Structure 1
Amino acid sequence: MEVKRKKFQGVLNILSFNRHFYVIGLLVLCLILIVCAYFEISKILIWVISGAFLYGLVMPLIISAYVYDFSGYYDFKWFKDLNIDEKVATQIVNINAGFDETSFTIKDKFPNSNLQVFDFYNADKHTEPAIIRARKVTNEYPNTIQINTKHIPLNDNSVDVLFLLSAIHEIRKDEEKVQFLKECKRVCKENGKVIVVEHLRDVANFFAFSVGFTHFFSQKTWLKVFKQAVFKNVIEKKFTPFMSIFTIEK
């Protein structure tokens, strides 16, 4: 059963999970304005500083609303371009990093499939406040299995489609990403596909998230780890200027 999303749920999630950044940002801005007023700094400079801080706080919310609430991302409007035969793809896997907003929708798109959901969240490694808060409100799919990135508990050549939707960037070390992707390759059938959806560390996401874009990885990094994991073919398509969909084949 698909979970119906609330209006502006995407941007509200961003605001809720990252509220510490907004509190700190506003406090720093207030402190700077007090210092500027005390030393009688130029009003133009004060406006420039205020504008820069407000841009950094507000723009991520605007872009998040566009990507997650208005673009059709969670309606899987991008899915029709992946050339996946829903009748043939019967063994589906969705792997998340502790926050799952897609498994119920995937099951709705593949009603006759066997969907297995895995979560590689590691409390010792994934210590960011945002992901900890996200885990408290996630809609966990029934029978979700906790795993580590070294092993996916499935047989070789058993999966038609494996989804990694805004998840694998939480694996910060390239070596661990490669190891995990090799596991994804192992469990996929010969004609199986891994679908990776990620923001990139690029110009568009810099203007969207300012320094926050460093949480993402560049296209060069993704292509490098896909190659090191020995995938045969990689196709990248843009979904909005801010997200890339990589279809990688065994």
Structure 2
Amino acid sequence: MSRSPFQGVVTVVRFNWHFYLFALMGVIVLLTVALICSGWISLLSWLAALGVLLTTVMSLVATYLAYDGSRLYRLDWLAPHLPEQGAGANIHAGFDETTALLRACYPGIVWGVYDFYDPKKHTEVSIQRARKAQPPEAGTIAHATDCFPADDDSLDVILLTLAAHEIRDHRERVDYFRDLRRSLKPGGLIVVTEHLRDLQNLIAYNLGAFHFHTAGVWLKTFREAGLTVTGTSRTAPLITTFVLTDHEDDS
């Protein structure tokens, strides 16, 4: 399994094209004002157009570095956290880019695929476009965040890659992770990979970074769900991975 060299950038633009269209229209309007007017109005318009253009290009470069120019989708960074054999859950929020890669890279694990997408809660147009372009594979288990459909003590590893941030409500997020914890076998792990709302992502994505949660929010979520962070790493530029275990197993 392999990805095309710019697949991440193309995917982001494809499903969020309205943002880039607005940016382009904004640049055109600002440049028009700059050419028509004079003095400080022209100068400010030139500067604003340059600012919009630079932030747009910067976000695309950041996306390339995070998704296409990194190890993220090679998934080799998962090897220390996965058993050679066992049961795994790959959870997504409506758009699954990793299950086929996981099955190719880690064939000894039986991967179940779970989708917590709820059109009433997850109303972003980008997710809707993604689901139309790539519907969930056959056998994907759709579920609500208040009921993870796996038996107690049944999973060796649970992966959430660029998905869990879609659960916006703190209480809902804590309850969901508590339910995931219930399904872990003794010694099992939950691996959460996310952008953070930190300085680097703010520089890269500007206001878009406010869609991400801060590290403090994640740590509070895990703690209240009864999970212990056993490791944190920068999986790729702008992307952080948390490795979690049941607090009782760690005590």
Same fold (TM > 0.5): yes
Residue number in structure 2 paired with 1:69: 68
Taking the aligned partners of 2:126 and 2:96, their CA distance within structure 1 comes to 14
| Residue 114 (structure 1) aligned to one of 110, 115, 120 | 110
Taking the aligned partners of 2:133 and 2:61, their CA distance within structure 1 comes to 22
Residue number in structure 2 paired with 1:187: 183
SS at match of 2:76: coil
Residue number in structure 2 paired with 1:19: 17
- Whether the aligned pair in 2 keeps the contact of 1:104 and 1:141 (CA below 8 Å) is no
Taking the aligned partners of 1:140 and 1:117, their CA distance within structure 2 comes to 9
Residue 198 in structure 1 maps to residue 197 in structure 2: no
- Per the normalisation by structure 2, the TM-score is 0.92
- Whether the aligned pair in 2 keeps the contact of 1:92 and 1:114 (CA below 8 Å) is yes
Q: Which amino acid aligns with 1:118?
A: Y
> C-alpha offsets along residues 75-102 of structure 1, whole Å, 9 cap, x if unaligned?
113223x343324xx1000010000000
SS at match of 1:63: helix
SS at match of 2:233: strand
Overall identity of the aligned pairs, in %: 34
Residue 230 in structure 1 maps to residue 226 in structure 2: yes
- Where does structure 1 lack aligned partners over 5 or more consecutive residues? none
SS at match of 2:173: helix
- Where does structure 2 lack aligned partners over 5 or more consecutive residues? 247-251
Residue 59 in structure 1 maps to residue 55 in structure 2: no
Taking the aligned partners of 1:57 and 1:235, their CA distance within structure 2 comes to 33
Report the Cα offset of residue 140 of structure 1.
3.3
RMSD: 1.6
- Per the normalisation by structure 1, the TM-score is 0.92
Report the Cα offset of residue 139 of structure 1.
6.4
Taking the aligned partners of 1:38 and 1:185, their CA distance within structure 2 comes to 61
Q: Which moved more, 1:91-100 or 1:126-135?
A: 126-135
Report the Cα offset of residue 182 of structure 1.
0.7
Residue number in structure 2 paired with 1:209: 205
Taking the aligned partners of 2:19 and 2:220, their CA distance within structure 1 comes to 31
